Structure 1
Amino acid sequence: MLLVMLHELGHYVTARWFGVRVERFFCFFDVKFAIWKKKIGDTVYGIGWLPLGGYVKLSGMIDESMDLEQMKQEPQPYEFRVKPAWQRLIIMLGGIIVNIILAMIIYAALFISQGETYVDVNKMQYGIEVDAKQEKLGLQNGDIPVGVDGIKYNSLRNINKEALLGGNTLEVKRDGKEVSLPISENFRTEILNSKSSFFIPQITFEVDSVVDNSAAQKAGLLKGDKIIAVDGFTTPLYSDFKRKLSEYKGKTVPLSVVRKGEAIELMTNVNKDGKLGFTTTSAYLNSLEVHRDYTIAEGITMGLTEPFESIATQVRGIGTLFKVKDGRKQVAGPIGMVKQMPTKWSWLFFWSFTAMISAWLAFINLLPIPGLDGGHAVFAIYEMVTGKKPSEKVLEKAQMVGVVIILALMVFIFGNDIVNMIFK
């Protein structure tokens, strides 16, 4: 909501700057009535009851309020319609500019304060962990992803992104050789369904914490223990351990453990899910991560370009929905986004998400759809180029078409969220 109000503030400030009267400035929509409102000068400020954004109403402008009576009156010097086309263009772009600048500021602050951390594929010794679905796609346990469409990437996250958003081939290192795998519709669908955890590095591990009253606790496992074998089968990697342990669901199995340099044997029960009840830690996984700090100048430079990178990624993501199975199910509106939020509060996630949404809000409003800022901007540009102003009748019909399009999109997005919740 804050982003929407900042967007509307951009329109408000630029309108006042050029002497256009702002009749209303509302948080939420006040259909029939408002929860609160107060008139200060020529403007009524208020809070509506329908939580679908906010709006500013400018004098002498055909907008979603469809106040056509006002347009029949003699034009006044403080009205939007009498201002030069270039001023009207700036007013229409005011909200978009605010959203882009906000995204730039947040991204720059994040780069400067947090830097960037990623898993470097060049440091991977054991490759990735592959399940049955991935095997059907051509991947093998121990493969090391190195590139997409012949382009090499250091970041495992970037390989995941490029493979999802349009890549045709995935390059992996296998037994010292490079192998190219086709990225099919099924391949892309599995990446999308994995929620950014499609490529999981195989790791060495040790016990971090033990769950109270679990089989692991009863067996005597302690923090720092390294499990090197299950029933005599060596399990140097966590994926090996999980795979072997799953063969003993509901049974008792011996574990070979190294504790403070000494080898010991423990007997433990395995639950029906094939687990013992402990969490792991991995110094090896931490060694795969590369962290880069940015100077203030570098952070600002990154911040200036990142909003556009974010928008490009979102647009490519929409294109990907047509290349996967059940793409509609992957479309998330406000309800879907809330469900995808992390369970634990994270300021880093909050600010990253805010910057991304701010950039996306700017892009959506820039689309040349009647009723959106981009639609109004198109008419202003048309007038600047041709010297002819569209008739009020054209503007009126265009606004009506835009309202229908926007309402239809809202119904689809919210309806899709509800359907996904019901038929999950």
Structure 2
Amino acid sequence: MEILIKVSQFLLSLSILVVLHELGHFVFAKLFKTRVEKFYMFFNPGFSLFKYKKGETEYGIGWIPLGGYVKISGMIDESMDKEQMALPPEPYEFRSKPAYQRLLIMVGGVLVNFVLAFVIYIAVLFAWGDEYLPAENVKYGYVCDSLAQSIGLQNGDKILELDNQKVERFSQIVPDILLNDPQSIQFLRNNKQLSVDIPSTFIADLLARSSKGFSLSPVLDIRYPYSAISIGKVAKDSPAKIAGLLEGDKIVSIDSIRFEYYDQFQDFSAANKGKSVVAIIDRAGKEVVLNLTIGEDGKYGFYPAMEAGVFEYATLKYTFAESIPAGFNKGIDKLGSYLKQFKLIFSSETKAYKSIGGFGTIASIFPGVWNWQAFWNLTAFLSIILAIMNILPIPALDGGHVMFLMYEIITGRKPGDKFMEYAQITGMVLLFGLLIFANGNDLWKWISNM
């Protein structure tokens, strides 16, 4: 069910973004009286799931949910309509329009994606505000994985600063390390302030670890007090189910061992995988003794549930007037963040290209439960990604057409139809290659994690 919810959110988000992106091209084409032959959500090789024609345009839904398109008369695009291009140009065709009009038609989709992202961020901030966990409120410190421990951090450390600059939000610590390249971390350990240097290999190691999964390796996680954790949903046929654990139970001790923090319980379980233990359970105030077998993966087959109010979150509320500049600033921040991530791909030191993911990776970032706030935040961010990817100067993308149009505007010479045809084919080969590589990475991650 969790996977179904993730995929459903991804497809809905993609559908919204594709339709509005193509609408940007459509509106500018209609504004300049350019004929639009087709307007499709998703691709439709061979057949369409739905279609109807109104005026000169056929509207439809394809069966391959990987994007969408508008087919504009007199334009060399993915349809590769050579017959039409062999005929004399008509006044209503794209190729007959002035260069500035063709430029606006081509950037229309990207403009809509950028505007859409800002509008969504404004609406989200107005509707829900901005809730976050201040780094200083992570009162039990962090759980540090082996990579974080390798540079000198320990479980329970409280990170205060990066390069002596105060850290405001817990959620930004790892992204800041990844994107802003700080040289040191200042933290509190046993009420003593210490500092460690971040080695030059840290980002490459982090991305190498992340390339094995569908998301950025957490490196640092919130440390939860064990007393605040109870049994959540219990998986069918799991060790927890077989032993008789129920939702709402609390494991008081295992083999007479009591834990202060939940990560200590996890470490104990991982070190004793496959073993039978005696668990003391608090069930609605009554003590129950159960014989429990730890799974071969060091887990029990239940989801932990945390008591509310353990950590103090901060929430920024905005009036409609306040949400406009705040949403715009958030959009600019997200744009800058993604450009920094994009830059990493071309770094030979980080080898970030190994972390590139396809549709599986994108779908995995959506939550496993339906959450409209998270959905719209992710849709806004994906809108920025779609805009940037489409404006890249690669033939077959909007940016490729823009590149050739800028050449025409500057030089006064229009590239020939044959050249544009070959450029379109080259661009499509590149894009399919990237698509295969990205989704091949997803497939490899899925097989490796089985």
- TM-score, scaled to structure 1: 0.82
- CA shift, 1:78, in A, is 1.3
Q: Does 140-149 or 110-119 show the bigger shift?
A: 140-149
Matched, 1:25 2:39: yes
2:438 to 413, 418, 424: 413
Aligned residue in 2 for 1:312: 336
**Structure 1: segments with no counterpart, 5+ residues:** none
Matched, 1:182 2:191: no
1:55 to 49, 56, 69: 69
- CA shift, 1:187, in A, is 4.6
CA displacement, residues 42-97 of structure 1 (integer Å, 9 cap, x when unaligned)? 22233334443221121222222222332333322212122121111111111111
In the superposition, relative to structure 1, how do residues 197 and 86 fare at CA in structure 2: closer, same or farther (>3 Å)? same
CA displacement, residues 218-268 of structure 1 (integer Å, 9 cap, x when unaligned)? 9999979896x87887744444555567777746669799x99xxx99866
In the superposition, relative to structure 1, how do residues 369 and 252 fare at CA in structure 2: closer, same or farther (>3 Å)? closer
Aligned counterparts of 1:341 and 1:200: Cα–Cα separation in 2 = 19
Return the letter of the residue paired with 2:294: K
SS in 2 for 1:158: helix
In the superposition, relative to structure 1, how do residues 326 and 381 fare at CA in structure 2: closer, same or farther (>3 Å)? closer
Aligned counterparts of 1:341 and 1:52: Cα–Cα separation in 2 = 17
- CA shift, 1:333, in A, is 1.0
1:299 to 309, 320, 323: 323
C-alpha contact 1:28 1:52 (8 A) present in aligned 2: yes
Aligned counterparts of 2:422 and 2:409: Cα–Cα separation in 1 = 21
SS in 1 for 2:224: coil
C-alpha contact 1:143 1:172 (8 A) present in aligned 2: no
Matched, 1:198 2:222: no
1:384 to 409, 415, 429: 409
CA displacement, residues 261-297 of structure 1 (integer Å, 9 cap, x when unaligned)? xxx998665542577879453566322x222222222
Aligned residue in 1 for 2:422: 397
- CA shift, 1:15, in A, is 0.4
In the superposition, relative to structure 1, how do residues 110 and 267 fare at CA in structure 2: closer, same or farther (>3 Å)? same
Matched, 1:345 2:367: no
In the superposition, relative to structure 1, how do residues 67 and 177 fare at CA in structure 2: closer, same or farther (>3 Å)? same
SS in 2 for 1:285: coil
In the TM superposition, 1:71-110 aligns within 5 A as 71-110=85-124
Aligned counterparts of 1:412 and 1:188: Cα–Cα separation in 2 = 17
Q: Does 122-131 or 361-370 show the bigger shift?
A: 122-131
SS in 2 for 1:179: strand
CA displacement, residues 15-66 of structure 1 (integer Å, 9 cap, x when unaligned)? 0111111122223333344444433222223333444322112122222222
C-alpha contact 1:232 1:256 (8 A) present in aligned 2: no
Q: Does 27-36 or 57-66 show the bigger shift?
A: 27-36
**Structure 2: segments with no counterpart, 5+ residues:** 1-14
Aligned counterparts of 1:210 and 1:29: Cα–Cα separation in 2 = 42
Q: CA RMSD in A?
A: 3.8
SS in 2 for 1:172: strand
Aligned counterparts of 2:232 and 2:396: Cα–Cα separation in 1 = 58
Aligned counterparts of 1:246 and 1:60: Cα–Cα separation in 2 = 64
Aligned counterparts of 2:244 and 2:418: Cα–Cα separation in 1 = 80
- TM-score, scaled to structure 2: 0.78
C-alpha contact 1:211 1:217 (8 A) present in aligned 2: no
SS in 1 for 2:187: strand
Aligned counterparts of 2:373 and 2:183: Cα–Cα separation in 1 = 33
In the superposition, relative to structure 1, how do residues 121 and 335 fare at CA in structure 2: closer, same or farther (>3 Å)? closer
Aligned residues: 418
C-alpha contact 1:148 1:167 (8 A) present in aligned 2: no
Aligned counterparts of 1:390 and 1:271: Cα–Cα separation in 2 = 71
SS in 2 for 1:147: strand
Aligned counterparts of 1:421 and 1:348: Cα–Cα separation in 2 = 28
